[in-house]
Structure 1
Amino acid sequence: MKTPVYLQVPRPRPVSRRIAVLGLLSALLAATGCRERTAGGYQGYLEAEFIYVGAPLAGRLTRLAVTRGQEVKAGDLLFELEQTSEAAAVAEAEKRLAQANARLDNLRKGRRPTEIAALAAQLQRAEASLRWAEADLERRRRLLRDDVISAAELDLAQAQRDADAAQVESLRAELETARLGAREDEIRAAEAEVAATAAALERARWALDNKHQIAQADARVHDTLYREGEFVTGGMPVVSLLPPANLKARFFVPEGEVATLRIGGTVQVRVDGRPEPVPATISYVATQAEYTPPVIYNQENRAKLVFMVEAVIAPADARVLRAGQPVDVKVGR
């Protein structure tokens, strides 16, 4: 697209002067106009898709581990927020889970061996008392037949024997229950308590883990948005990253030639300062046409552009490119 130049002509001029003005206008257009494509290619620029990294929870920024322009690897620490309360919550949840597990184990095991042994001893004493009561009842029955004792004394002996028999049955049932452990409903309630405390621990660990963020892929630090000591609201980005895969060439093709391009096609991207072009693959072709952008970098005004460089050169092609650089793109290998 050519940059428009507006001239005010207040009144008719002689033909010779008019020709001179037209010549001057042509010179200005030639000097400032923009070519939409270079010989055998198209002009465009490098577009970056930044990744903004923040924490879902709020807190004071205690450590900023990266600086602008730094190259980071996947897993490298980016920043940390204060985490005193989250660490305390994790410790409390771990202790609660340990208590819940101990209670569940205790219910499943039943009573302690010493308690079971005490119940067994009580049962033995009760069985011995029952045997004595049965023998005494039989003696009193013989004495009643001989009219030695009254019927009331026999009734007392019978009542004692029945009481001892009930005591034996009660202790046998209690001993069996002690050996079986707690009831099923008590065990289910204890299991639910363990599950709830485990979920609380998982939630506390998630909060603690999210108080520090790491790089998910190799990238360059584009910018840092907070300083150490500042309070960061939950969800606000602290660091912006630019992975090499998120840098792409954006160029503009005339309407009459767009039909020749296909998704997956190969293009050659040439950047100032690099002797060899960089290969690239077409990933998107617009579905609607648009007017030529008002600013297109041409060979003349490109020399006037300057870029602030804050990073060392890395081996990979994408790592040496910068967002906003003008490029020349040629289709094909």
Structure 2
Amino acid sequence: MSELLRSVLDGLTALALAIGLPFADGGPPPLAHGYVEGEYLRIAAPSAGMLESLPVARGARVAAGAPLFAIDRATAMAERDRLAAALAQARAQRADLATGKRPQEMAVLTAQKARAEAALRYSTAELSRQQELVARRVSSPDKLDQARAAHDRDRGHLAEAEAQLAVAALSARPEQLRAADEAVIQAEAALVQADRRLVDLAPVAPVAALVDDTLYNPGEWVPAGSPVVSLLPPERVKLVLFVPETAVATVSPGSSLSVHCDGCPPDLSARVTRIASQAEYTPPVIYSVGSREKLVFRVEAVPDRPLNPGLPVDVWPAGAGR
């Protein structure tokens, strides 16, 4: 209900109560006058874009989860695909850091180790032969020194090959692995955000409701946060009543009221859900017996069946005749 209509109805209701208009059918006067009010759900998209589709129409009823509209998602889909690829890359890098060298690289290092072992065996044998020859005074000490140097060199090459092979089998350093884990978490969060954005650009009905209004047509540009569809769930329809100060003590939250309106069934009732803590439409005069009769309290009640917002109603305490 618009603010203007609400203000007009509030004013008329307060006026009727203030001047004490009699009830039309000559029965006991109603406890209070009021109107039906709806609390609407205005569904919007968080991002601007062209309205791509609008599968609902004014006056239709939609079930919970039914699609309401869709904003153009081409850019959002492309961004989502990019983030999905970034996540795959981060996971692959993390796995690569945890597995060490590839089998082919390990084979190369193994072959290098075997070559170093063969060279050491040869230099070891040559050293032994030179030692025997020098002991028999057949060879010179220089050749023995050369054989000993070659042996030490080949032993160092073998140690180097063994170390390289051992390092190649290791995963990355713990710090690198933690950094890779953080990169994966960051990429996953970005992808979740992109998926959520796609959902927000094509919202569905949160509850079963009446489509009260559609505010844009397909092909129009929708600003960010601007409502596209207005829904009215049946459970969000309530009665707004204005109970005189002299009668407000007779109602309390949970009280049952008998409701009358044009064209409504005779057994219509409502349950009080809220009573305002302060009076409304208080005249700017000092309180007196006369001014107290003009004070009304806003009371809200839930009808036992759906009613159209804006419909004027009169209520009586449950069981009271009219």
> Normalization by structure 1: what TM-score?
0.78
Deviation of 1:81 (Å): 0.6
Q: Unmatched 5+ residue regions in structure 2?
A: 1-10, 284-302
- Computed over aligned residues only, the root mean square deviation of the Cα atoms, in angstroms, reads 2.6
User: In 2 relative to 1, CA 217–210 (structure 1 residues): closer, same or farther, beyond 3 Å?
Assistant: same
2:69 alignment partner in structure 1:
79
Decide which of 78, 101, 111 is 1:88's aligned counterpart.
78
> In the TM superposition, what are the counterparts of 1:14-29 in structure 2 within 5 Å?
none
Deviation of 1:35 (Å): 4.0
Q: Unmatched 5+ residue regions in structure 1?
A: 4-28, 294-315
2:236 alignment partner in structure 1:
246
Distance 2:266 2:142 in 1: 123
Q: Alignment identity in percent?
A: 41
Deviation of 1:69 (Å): 1.3
- Conserved 8 A contact 2:22-2:29: no
Distance 1:255 1:157 in 2: 118
1:141 alignment partner in structure 2:
131
2:89 alignment partner in structure 1:
99
Superimposed CA distance per residue, residues 253-283 of structure 1 (whole angstroms, 9 cap, x where no aligned partner): 1111111211122222223212333332211
Decide which of 311, 316, 320 is 1:330's aligned counterpart.
316
Q: What's the secondary structure of 1:213's corresponding residue?
A: coil
> In the TM superposition, what are the counterparts of 1:176-191 in structure 2 within 5 Å?
176-191=166-181
User: In 2 relative to 1, CA 2–252 (structure 1 residues): closer, same or farther, beyond 3 Å?
Assistant: closer
Superimposed CA distance per residue, residues 107-144 of structure 1 (whole angstroms, 9 cap, x where no aligned partner): 21222223223322221221121122122112212222
Greater Rg over alpha carbons, structure: 1
1:53 aligns with 2:39: no
Distance 2:70 2:213 in 1: 16
User: In 2 relative to 1, CA 33–262 (structure 1 residues): closer, same or farther, beyond 3 Å?
Assistant: closer
1:125 aligns with 2:115: yes
- Conserved 8 A contact 1:36-1:42: no
Which protein has the bigger strand share?
2
2:261 alignment partner in structure 1:
271
Aligned AA for 1:83?
R
1:218 aligns with 2:208: yes
- Conserved 8 A contact 1:247-1:318: no
2:280 alignment partner in structure 1:
290
Superimposed CA distance per residue, residues 162-189 of structure 1 (whole angstroms, 9 cap, x where no aligned partner): 1111111111111112222333333223
* Number of residue pairs matched by the alignment: 283
User: In 2 relative to 1, CA 329–269 (structure 1 residues): closer, same or farther, beyond 3 Å?
Assistant: same
Deviation of 1:104 (Å): 1.8
> Normalization by structure 2: what TM-score?
0.80
Distance 2:194 2:12 in 1: 61
